[in-house]
Chains A and B, each alone.
Chain A
Amino acid sequence: MENFTPVSALIGGAFIGLSAAIMLAGNGRIAGISGILGGAISSRGDERRWRILFLAGLLIATLLYQFASSSPITIETQASPELLVIAGLLVGFGTRLGSGCTSGHGICGIARFSKRSFAATVTFMLFGFITVYVTRHLLELGV
């Protein structure tokens, strides 16, 4: 358990949960990133506007954090650009098919006691575990 960071994980999680709660209380919307991104592309008018605003918020957070914090934002991956594109396509396709992602289903859906979200979360977690095991320990792809 080398990289275990329980405190920052809890704090970060609390921020995310608060964000989702505010979104629900204020606007009646689910803070599901895949849905927000997908909708930002495919919708028009107000529907598009608020989604772009939310995504802008995500990016602004990066600037804020870098301004306020001395520690850099760590991004570690051994994946090649090509692999990242393929992975991105799979994630995009999968989240649209499944109508949600970790935030939509895993956080908001479960908070609403949605059976569908619970099933989705269990499924993508399970396949995440399996995929990492296969790619890292069976095929030893080094990613």
Chain B
Amino acid sequence: MSSVKEQNSHDGMFAHSAVTLVSGVLFGLGLIISGMVNPGKVIGFLDLAGVWDPSLIFVMGGCDCHHVDFWLVLRRERLLFERKFFLPQGRT
């Protein structure tokens, strides 16, 4: 039994697109809520000699909560709507 459901390309495309769109919206909301769309906030983190704003560390921390998701997905090596991963093959 295939671990990827055999769907006609139309269904697959819809699901693929839905995931992409939802992901984009979530990402955008995350950027706005965290304040990362504000250059002033990013520079506040990079400005060690000024009034330092460590918020960016906490943004990374929020992302870190999902590292376990990454690990689980990569371990399973199974995807929902694609047949393979499109991961960068770096030189290191």
Interface residues of A (CB under 8 A from B): 1-6, 8-31, 33, 49-50, 53-62, 64-65, 73-77, 79, 99-100, 103, 106-112, 114-117, 119, 128-129, 131-133, 136-137
Q: B interface, how many residues as a size bin?
A: 35 or more
- Contact assessment for B20 and A74 in the assembled complex, using a CB-CB cutoff below 8 Å: no
Given contacts A111-B70, A128-B46, contact A13 B38 (CB under 8 A): no
Q: Are B73 and A21 neighbours in the complex by a CB distance under 8 Å?
A: yes
The 8 Å CB contact of A19, one of B23, B38, B81, is: B23
- CB within 8 A of A57: which of B22, B50, B56, B90? B22
10 A-B contact pairs sorted by A residue (CB < 8 Å): A13-B30, A14-B63, A22-B23, A27-B86, A28-B87, A54-B24, A107-B63, A110-B67, A132-B43, A132-B48
Q: Answer whether residue B1 sits at the interface, using C-beta atoms and an 8 A cutoff.
A: no
Interface residues of B in 24-53 (CB under 8 A from A): 24-41, 43-44, 46-53
Contact between A12 and B20 (Cβ–Cβ < 8 Å)?
no
